[in-house]
Structure 1
Amino acid sequence: MSANDTPRAYDAVIIGAGHNGLVAAAYLARAGRSVLVLERLDHTGGAAVSSRPFAGIDARLSRYSYLVSLLPDKIVRDLGLDFRVRARTISSYTPVERAGRPTGLLVGGGEQRTREAFARLTGGDHEYEAWRRFYGMTGRVARRVFPTLTEPLPSRDDLRRRIDDETAWRTLFEEPLGVAVEQTFADDLVRGVVLTDALIGTFADAHDPSLAQNRCFLYHVIGGGTGAWDVPVGGMGALTDALAAAARAAGARIATGHEAIRIDTDGRTAEVVHRTADGEAVAVARHVLVNASPHELAALTGDAAPEPAEGAQLKVNMLLERLPRLRDPGTDPREAFAGTFHIAEGYAQLATAHAQAAAGELPGAPPSEIYCHSLTDPTILGPGLAERGWHTLTLFGLHTPARLFDRDNDAVREELLRSTLAQLDAHLAEPLADCLATDADGRPCIEAKTPLDLERDLRLPGGNIFHRALSWPYAQEGGGRWGVETRHANVLLCGAGAVRGGGVSGVPGHNAAMAVLEAAG
């Protein structure tokens, strides 16, 4: 449509065909609303996509987001999605050297096996019993909080009453998480394993007074009411493909290659100006749902941009011809890499890495964690690769804020990647480089993404995977009923930057759709 054509009117225009935008589109279209989804890229999915990043190799990697915890079963059921996840039999493995010998902590494989692993590491049952009590507490919180994510926002007092555990409330909502970690656990390695869930994509110390680490930890332990992080069958793109199919089947129109550039609204009717291959076009809508960052929303509406919150992660995708052998002779690599493989994530190591990065230096021992999707779901590998023993590896590095890459993104990326892999190699019986596959051009199958790369590729402000600092899952003074409202009555934020956003959840998409349907009576 050219700018001279009569604009077509819709009940809702959704900007961005990432998973949250597609969730909103499917709900609204199923409710009989006319829906247009505008996506600037030539494909749907946003950051929740599967792709083949290595030339000539048929392996579909979940290139950006990679595990599922926060997606409610309710959304899968409501939208009739053909999408499944598989549980990982091992939760985590953390290698360490004790008394001059390589060993490690393997969590999973049954209660007795986990208890024995703690006893071998710490010399008794104390740490395991503390672990059980602590995660028993977070499990009770998860069962009470998770169902509220797809309900209107509770007040702070309402959520506190719902949790009905003053110790849990103080631990998670009121005092820095480091207090509870240090009071509950004695072993440095165990403390570090607990703390890592508070630092994924969040640059904070265990005792940060802002409690950014607490909010991150809360979202990592409440998913599904259990805190379990599962593997998407077929890769993350299987979810967004299923969502796009559900939205289209319900009647939504999805227009890829259409970049929204401006929203003009009087609070009742909005015009969305978007760029197409043929020039600019206009779509008219009663409601506009923006599945993009709050910074992008401000740019579209002409409002003042919010304070930036930089990302702090290194994302590395790899393809191996075989899993590397471990220095720890008592652990099978197929188990170690099936869960979350923690590297340089002792409690003191995490504190040192944060202090170094806060001072503007790359961490001397960069903390990171790895998991192997293909051990749980080999379907992402092309014919013959699984039989030959090939595997994918995903590495997520911590405490690398975007500011560290400002001087020279490419050079710092390479320096950080080398030092990160060196930390992993210290626990392997063979260098990881010897296990890497090569692509059709003879290059090692490894790619790394910094926060600045994510800002460029996905328009994440500062490379922040949550779009901005995570919020508490309760209503703030002056906030809206669903946590998706903006200063414009008919413009809603349905991306990760909404209240209760962040992660692959579909929650902001669901909540924005509910807000629209409620407004229409």
Structure 2
Amino acid sequence: MPRSHYDAVIAGAGHNGLVAAAYLARAGRRVLVLERLSHVGGLAVSAQAFPGVDARLSRYSYLVSLLPGKVVSDLGLKLELRRRRYASYTPVGGTGLLVDNGDADRTAASFAAVTGGPGDLAAWHRFYGQTARVAERVAPTLLEPLRDRTALREVVGDAEAWRDLFERPIGEVARERFGDDTVRGVVLTDALIGTFADPDKDLLANRCFLYHVVGDGTGDWNVPVGGMGAVSGALAEAARSGGAEIRTGMEVLSIDPGGEVVFRDAEGAEHTVTGDHLLVNTPPAVMARLLGGAQEPPEGAQLKVNMVLSRLPRLKDGSVDPVEAFSGTFHINEGRDQLALAYEQAVAGLIPELPPAEVYCHSLTDSSILGPSLREAGAQTMTLFGLHMPARLFRKNPEKARSEALAATLASINSVLAEPIEDCLLRAPDGSYCLEAKTPVDLENEAGLPGGHIFHRDLSWPFAEDPAETGRWGVETEHERILLCGAGARRGGGVSGIPGHNAAMAVLAGNS
């Protein structure tokens, strides 16, 4: 019996696989997408995490910055992304640092109250003015063939910005440019999200920082209306409407450089298809296994906590409304020195005593994720992302370590609030708290992410580091037919669709 043949077979219906499928199908290619789970979207999904509670949480990934407007436009995505009025709030004793995108005077007064003068505010405007110019220039290159280091430096066109963002540890830069520990910490958190690194020594932190400030040319972190599932839903619709075939409940078992893909359906039966191109939307370590080899897994480093609150907690700072504080990113014990101490403790194999973390409430910007009764009652969702929680801390005894990490994290957030967060948690119909925690080991076991690494592996520079990469798309592998179209590709990481776009362009350009 002849095997079905496709122009492209895509392993994995995460958002990057869907982007690639949509581009290729709309270009007239015959495309098959195979997804192990019963739904599309990978970790960019919305879920009812707590039984009987009508709240659709962005359970894993939760904000959108890197998704290019060009991809949204090209694919005609029916998607609304809302900008947050408040960038961030950082409690400091009985006051706090509020960065209000809509009120420059209020931001200035907040900086003065926390830092004691105008110096750090001026440095803040200069630094982020510089990163904004870098973002505007670099973002378009992410959807183009790779430039080499020299060519990208010419695109940046600012010797100081290049030195401070690409060549000097970002921790040194923050210490040199800002005098206040709190302000330094706010800057450094963007260098440490999902990344276990010492920003004073490791340029890996710089790479993380770049991706957080370059997003779509602005660096804005926007709220997807309807939750992250709305992003994946729009992409799946674009792929299907273009003619792509998407099959869920299909686990890819092996791929062959000759173009053969073996997969198993939900009933356990095995099937084989072939493709001119095989686009692999999995972590590189998984791709290695599918090819019959092995690769050392990376190490994720975060604690994700999802909550539904009956109401917002009270703040120690009476000058800021909790709605304002939690609408943006709410920083918890993320001063520069606190970040450094937590890193040192984690390196020593200890769960940090006062874990740095940040939270935001999606429902304050988009209440559509809550059912009518929850909206009327004033309930809110809260997402917490904890830093410096590497997978190594959870290997020996995952359950015990998760419990200890969660307890330490709740104590950390309580240390900056006027009341315990537990007093504000909504209870599900069975009486349990609407609270769940996901460690890197949980992501490894539940979502198939080796090491629980949310970027699939350590982030790479957005330029060709090997001369052989120059002019290519950053998705190529040693096998001509096989392209890596997931977050582990060069210029991958985050919910961006960039690797999916670039893999499709490589196929269409015949450069694979």
User: Which residue pairs with 1:320 in the alignment?
Assistant: 309
Residues 233-269 of structure 1: per-residue CA shift (max 9 Å, x gap): 0000001011111111111000101111111223xxx
User: Could you say what secondary structure the match of 2:16 adopts?
Assistant: helix
Separation (CA, whole Å) in 2 of partners of 1:138 and 1:201? 21
CA distance in 2, matches of 1:475, 1:507: 16
1:150 aligns with 2:150: no
2:358 paired residue number: 369
Contact 2:298-2:457 within 8 A present in 1 as well: yes
Describe the SS at the equivalent of 1:186.
coil
- The answer (yes or no) to whether the contact 2:281–2:485 under 8 Å persists in 1 is yes
1:217 corresponds, among 183, 191, 209, to: 209
* Pairing 1:498–2:489 present: yes
Q: CA deviation at 1:322?
A: 0.3
**The one of 19, 24, 45 aligned to 1:23:** 19
Structure 1: how far apart are the matches of 2:365 and 2:13?
Answer: 28
2:459 aligned to which of 452, 462, 470:
470
Report the counterpart of residue 484 of structure 1 in structure 2: 475
C-alpha separation in 1, matches of 2:511 and 2:189: 43
How many residue pairs get matched? 508
1:520 Cα shift? 7.8
Structure 1 contact 12–288 (Cα < 8 Å) conserved: yes
1:330, distance to aligned residue in structure 2 (A): 1.3
Q: Which runs of 5+ in 1 are unaligned?
A: none
Deviations 1:77-96 (A, max 9, x none): 10111011001000000001
Alpha-carbon separation, structure 2, partners of 1:348 and 1:317: 27
Deviation string 1:460-504 (CA, Å, 9 cap, x unpaired) is 110000000100000121336000000100100000000000000
Match of 2:234, as an amino acid?
A
Out of 272, 277, 288, which is 2:278 matched to? 288
Following TM superposition, by how much is the alpha carbon of 1:302 offset from its aligned partner in structure 2, in angstroms?
2.0
For residues 322 and 129 of structure 2, the distance between their equivalents in structure 1, rounded to whole angstroms, comes to 29
| Aligned positions of 1:40-55 closer than 5 A | 40-55=36-51
Provide the rounded CA distance (Å) in 2 between the counterparts of 1:75 and 1:261.
30
Gap change, CA 1:24 and 1:398, over 3 Å in 2? same
Per the TM alignment, residue 309 of structure 1 is displaced from its structure 2 partner at its CA by 2.2
Residue 517 of structure 1 is aligned with which of 486, 508, 511?
508
Residue of structure 2 aligned with 1:432, choices 414, 421, 424: 421
Q: Give me the whole-angstrom Cα distance separating, in 2, the residues matched to 1:238 and 1:10.
A: 28
Deviations 1:418-446 (A, max 9, x none): 11111111222221111111112111000
Aligned position for 1:240: 232
Q: Distance in 1 between matches of 2:213 and 2:407?
A: 31
- Matched residue, 1:90: 86
SS of residue in 2 equivalent to 1:475: coil
Partner residue in 2 for 1:14 = 10
Quickly say closer, same or farther: Cα 1:520–1:30, change in 2 above 3 A: farther
- After superposition, residues 135-284 of structure 1 pair within 5 angstroms as 135-209=128-202, 211-266=203-258, 270-276=259-265, 277-284=267-274
Q: Compute the displacement of 1:122 (Å).
A: 1.5
Q: Name the SS of the counterpart of 1:29 in structure 2.
A: helix
2:408 paired with 1:419: yes
Deviations 1:356-376 (A, max 9, x none): 100111111100000000000
Matched, 1:300 2:290: yes
TM-score when normalising by structure 2: 0.98
Aligned partner of 2:441 among 427, 431, 452: 452
Give 2:491's aligned amino acid.
R
Contact 1:368/1:420 (<8 A) preserved: yes
d(CA) in 2 for partners of 1:241, 1:493 = 22
Deviation at 1:317, TM superposition (A): 0.3
- Once the two structures are superposed, residues 350-408 of structure 1 have per-residue CA deviations (whole angstroms, 9 ceiling, x without a partner) of 00000010011111110000000000000000112112110000000000100001111
Residues 46 and 56, structure 2, Cα contact 8 Å, conserved in 1: yes
Aligned equivalents of 1:76 and 1:224: distance in 2? 11
Q: Contact 1:328/1:427 (CA < 8 Å) preserved in 2?
A: no
Matched with 1:345 is 334
Secondary structure, in 3 states, of the residue corresponding to 1:36?
strand
Q: Structure 2: which 5+ runs fail to align? A: none
* Correspondence 1:49-64 to 2 at 5 A: 49-64=45-60
RMSD: 1.1
2:131 aligns to what SS in structure 1?
helix
Query: Residues 304 and 430 from structure 1, CA distance in 2 versus in 1: closer, same or farther, beyond 3 angstroms?
Result: closer
Give the TM-score of the pair, scaled to structure 1: 0.96
Find out whether 1:120 has 2:120 as its counterpart. no
Task: State the distance in 2 between where 1:466 and 1:479 align.
Answer: 21
Mapped to 1, the partners of 2:20 and 2:282 lie a distance apart of: 13
Check the 8 A contact 1:482/1:512 in 2, yes or no.
Answer: yes
> Displacement, 1:303?
3.6
Whole-angstrom distance in 2 between the partners of 1:155 and 1:134: 25
CA shift in 2, pair 1:187/1:247, >3 Å = same
